[in-house]
Amino acid sequence: KKLLLEFINENLVSKGMIVDYALHDENKGNGNFHAHILTSLRPLNKDGSWGAKCRKEYLYDENGEHLYTKSGVKKSRRVDTTDWNKKENAEKWRENYADLVNKYLERAGEKKRVDHRSYRRQGVNKKPQIHMGTGAMALERKGIRTEKGDINREIAKENIILKNIQKELQAIGEFLSSFRPRVGFFVLWHQIY
């Protein structure tokens, strides 16, 4: 909860957002402890009323005259009043959350770390599992197999096979690299004689 509040304050409240959060399965210990965070996209005005999420900005030509559409309507564009809904924020917030989690893990003496990037972006040759959803997770916890659970079990098997193949390829690469000095000497010896 302390980590969550630190994240919310650093990334959302400090920018002026109003935040509502809910913790789920906090004391059940079933491995599905998580939080839902709801934020405002509208700023508050100084008088406490809600501000506009965006405003209309009219477009003008080089002489300062209004531009018009073919149907005669003044051309305009939408301008957001905050940057809170920009896609780039999702990446920034995910990175900050991963940094905070890692800080808390380190403080707790844990060796595990999290990374907000996809396996592909991390350079990890591993297939990601699919999202189960609450319904499938509930059935799986009761011992009832689901299609999504079966898919994830198959992906887990594939990842084990892939990991073993990668280890073998690394061992083969190391084995072959041990021949390089000898091969170089042989080529040099062969050229001289």
Per-residue pLDDT tens digits for 65-110: 999 999 999 999 999 889 898 889 999 999 999 999 999 999 999 9
Query: Looking at the DSSP assignment, which residues form a beta bridge with residue 34?
Result: 24
- The two beta strands, 54-58 and 34-39, are unpaired
Which pTM does this prediction carry? Answer: 0.63
Banded pLDDT at 186 (limits 50, 70, 90): low
The terminus-to-terminus CA distance of the chain in angstroms comes to 75
- The two beta strands, 19-24 and 34-39, are antiparallel
Phi-psi category of 52—alpha, beta or left, where left has phi over 0 and alpha has psi -120 to 50? beta
- The SS3 call for residue 74 is strand
Token reading at 100: 């905070």
Q: Which own/partner pairs from 53-59 qualify as long-range (CB within 8 Å, at least 24 positions apart)?
A: 53/80, 53/81, 53/82, 53/85, 54/78, 54/79, 54/80, 54/81, 55/79, 55/81
> Cα(97)–Cα(60) distance, rounded to whole angstroms?
42
What confidence tens digit (pLDDT) does each residue in 110-135 have?
999 999 998 888 888 888 899 998 88
pLDDT given for residue 183 in this prediction: 54
> Cα(79)–Cα(96) distance, rounded to whole angstroms?
27
Q: E strand or H helix at 20, and its extent?
A: strand 19-24
Greatest Cα pair distance in the chain? 94
> Cα(60)–Cα(77) distance, rounded to whole angstroms?
11
Percent of the chain with pLDDT over 90: 54
